[in-house]
Homo-oligomer: A and B are copies of this chain.
Amino acid sequence: MIPNKILNLSVDCVVFGYDTNTKSLNVLLIKRYLEASATKEILVDDYVLTGYHVYEDETLDESATRVLKELTGLTNQYKQQFKAFGNPDRLSNKKDLIWIQNQEFNLRTVTIAYYFLLKTECVDVKNNKYKAKWFPVRELPELGFDHQQIIEEAHEDLKTKCLAEPIIFELLPDKFTINDVQDLYESILGIEIDNRNFRRKLINKKYIIPLDEKQVGVSKKPAQLYMFSKDIYKKMYHKNYLINI
C-alpha cells in the first residue's frame, strides 16, 4: 500500500523580538549558505526562518517549541500557530522527488508556521551557533523559499491579535514605561498614536501596575516603570459586546 500523498512535514518559526532601545520590531533569521539538491550542493546566500522536520512522535506544538529551544535556548515563550503553507509549488528542488517501489513521488513540503514573541535581550546573538541575527521587520534581507510571505502573514496576524489581546507585553521587559508600550504598538501597527491620550487610556487599566521604580541611566527625566498583571487581566470583567465592525 502506497500512501496517496507522500510529503515532508515541518514547522517554521517566525521569532519576533522588540528592542526598546532602537524601538524596532525585529525578526530573528539565520543565514542559509548551502542548499543540498539530489546531485550537488548549491551555494545560496540569503536568510531563512528557523524550522525543522516534525519528528515521528512529536505534536506540532512540541516541534515548534523544540525548534525555538534549539535556536535560542528559550522555552515558555508566547507561541501561536497561525497558518499552514503547503502548496504543491512550494519547493521544486530535485531532492523533492523520491522513488518508492519504482514509482516516482513528488515530495511536497507542508510547513506549519508559528510565531513566537520574546524580548530581544533574551537571545545572545553574539554566541549563537546558528549565527542568528535580528532584522527589523520592515527592513528584511533577501529571504529563501517563501519565508518572506510567511513573515508577512505572521505580522498581519500579530497586528490583529495585539488589538484584541494583551500579547504586547510578551514583547516587553517585565518593567516597562508607558512610552515603551506606545512605541511598540506603533512599531507593530505602523501608525502614530497621540501620547497624551494613549497614556491616559493605559494608566486607567487596572492591570497596568505602577511600580515604586523609575528608569535609571537615562539622560532626561526618568520615566515611571509599570508592570502588567496577567492575573488581574484574567479576573477582570471583559465586555464581550465589543462589536467593532
Question: Is A125 interfacial (CB 8 A cutoff)?
Answer: no
Could you tell me the distance in whole angstroms from the C-beta of A23 to the nearest C-beta in chain B? Answer: 18
A88 cross-chain contacts in B, Cβ below 8 A:
56-59
On whether A243 and B163 interact (CB within 8 A), knowing A88-B57, A112-B84, A112-B86, the answer reads yes
Say yes or no: A1 contacts B53, CB within 8 Å.
no
Q: Return the chain B residue nearest A53 by Cβ.
A: B4
Q: Which stretch from A25-33, A103-111, A115-123, A216-224 is at the chain B interface?
A: A103-111
Nearest-neighbour CB distance to chain B for A86, whole angstroms, equals 5
Contact flags (1/0) for A67-104 with B, using CB distance below 8 Å? 00000000000000101111110000000001111000
Tell me the number of copies of this protein.
Answer: 2
Residue A227 at the chain B interface, CB threshold 8 Å = no
A4 to B245, CA, bound (A): 46
Q: Evaluate whether A60 and B81 lie within 8 angstroms (CB atoms) in the complex, with A3-B8, A7-B7 already known.
A: no
In the bound complex, how far is the Cα of B9 from the Cα of A85, in angstroms?
A: 12
* CB of A160 closer than 8 Å to a CB of B: yes
A 1-41 binary contact with B (CB < 8 Å = 1; else 0) = 11111111100000000000000000000000000000000
A228 and B55 alpha carbons, distance in the complex (Å): 48
**27 A–B contacts, CB within 8 A, in A order:** A3-B6, A3-B7, A3-B98, A3-B107, A4-B8, A5-B8, A5-B9, A6-B6, A56-B106, A59-B86, A59-B87, A60-B84, A81-B84, A84-B84, A100-B100, A110-B110, A160-B164, A162-B243, A163-B245, A164-B244, A164-B245, A165-B245, A168-B245, A185-B243, A189-B240, A191-B240, A242-B244
